[in-house]
Amino acid sequence: MDIKKSAIILNGFVHDFAAGIWLAAIVAIAVLHNAHLKNPEVVMVINNLEHLFFWGSVGAMVTILATGAGRTFTYVENWYGPDAERVRRKMLIIKHLVLFAFFAAGYYYVFGMVFH
């Protein structure tokens, strides 16, 4: 296998891994915030952790966008055949619209928790 194909595969792995990190960070912020509401004596420690996870999630999102752009330029035409590719492209557009909505909703949900 040549280096270009290896880089394309690595880009896809990094994209998926960053998406998992983003989701885990958002969930961690919500869990930490709930813990700090129940235990006010640990607020300072947990606030620092919330900030750490928030900025880590921003880094993950930047990575997702950059590697997603990389996927756009390495897209393989008609991998599944012309008919299946038309359906696949429509589904990819819908998937990304839903995911952008999840990004927005996730940040809307945790922003007030982190920066209160």
Q: What is the pLDDT of residues 73-105, one digit of tens each?
A: 776 666 677 778 788 888 888 988 999 999 999
d(CA 72, CA 93): 12
DSSP 77: T
Tokens of 56: 């880590």
Percentage with pLDDT > 90 across the chain: 58
- Mean pLDDT for the chain overall: 89
- What is the residue extent of each domain of the chain? 3-114
Say yes or no to pLDDT of 16 above 90.
yes
Rama region for 2: left / alpha / beta (φ>0; ψ in -120 to 50; rest) = beta
User: pTM for this structure?
Assistant: 0.83
